[in-house]
Amino acid sequence: MAIDLIFESLWLSVVILIVSFVFAAIFNKLFHRFIDRKALDAKYDPTNYKFLRHTISAVIYLVGFGLAIYAIPALRTIATSILAGAGIMAVAVGFASQAALSNIISGMFIVIYKPFGVNDKIEVHGMSGIVEDITLRHTVIRNFENQRIIIPNAVISADVIVNSDLVDERMCKHLILGISYESDIDKARAIIQEEALKHPSCIDGRGPEDLQLGQDQVPVRVIEWAESSVQLKAWVWSNNQAEGFLMKCDLLESIKKRFDNEGISIPYPHRTIVQKK
């Protein structure tokens, strides 16, 4: 009888574990479908849904393992006796799980206060990329080489984060160009402004005060007299970081071609070599 009871308990425990894994898999699949449908909404923010999916999956596994252990009377007795006098063990487990709890709490704070969300472009720890997922333990970032960067939530919460998509996705790109002292500054400024304004990604980033003061849409200022060049800086706005990056690349090329065609020289270092006999 005792052996039969043990086998029944073991079978019940195995069945509970199998049901838990199957239920978690079904839940994840249904939740994925729900997220895919929500993604059609322009105002959809996947951050909360993805974190909720990870949380519910963790709860399903925890409940399943708990019930599986509880189904075996021998383990139930051992667990009860351990919990009855496990003051020292509780302290040890508490210290051991500090990092895990810190990551979970930090993940909850990230989801609640939203310093960044899924699909945001961020820079943290000197690394840039797009947030792919926020789990209970870590944040997954896809960099621009299609590599995945895994950062614990506690680490990313304690670091300084540069978020390109928080509140306002518009991006101001700075173009710093050097021209020779013999070149015409006004002509160079006009070329830079013309090339910027005709680029399809260039937008008007001026505020009401700038419009009242009659500020240029693409301001170009002399910022420095360098050793061999006059440094010009242009402020060009785009809708987002991705468009801004491509726009800057295009403008550097088109402005260089215009400078070459219209006699604006870009100085570069020259080296004189003297050969002694």
Work out the average pLDDT over 234-256. 93
Closest alpha carbon to 195 in 263, 266, 253: 253
Work out the average pLDDT over 17-39. 76
pLDDT of residue 265: 92
To which residue do tokens 């449908």 refer?
Answer: 37
Q: From CA 36, how far away is CA 47, in angstroms rounded?
A: 13
pLDDT of 189 > 90? The answer is: yes
Q: From CA 254, how far away is CA 221, in angstroms rounded?
A: 19
Work out the average pLDDT over 102-131. 86
Which CATH number does 171-261 carry? Answer: 3.30.70.100
Please write the tens of the pLDDT for every residue from 141-152. 999 888 999 999
pLDDT-based confidence at residue 24 (cuts at 50, 70, 90)? confident
pLDDT of residue 145: 87
pTM value > 0.95: no
pLDDT of residue 81: 56
pLDDT-based confidence at residue 6 (cuts at 50, 70, 90)? low
Let me know: does 174 contact 234? Beta carbons within 8 Å. Answer: yes
pLDDT of residue 57: 79
**Upper half-sphere CA count for residue 160 (Cβ side, 13 Å):** 1
Assign 216 to helix, strand or coil.
coil
Please write the tens of the pLDDT for every residue from 120-149. 889 988 888 999 888 888 899 999 888 999
pLDDT of residue 109: 84
Give the number of residues written for the chain: 277
Burial of 129 (0-12, 13-18, 19+ CB in 10 A): buried
Q: From CA 67, how far away is CA 13, in angstroms rounded?
A: 7
Angle at 38 between CA 35 and CA 39, to 5 degrees: 85
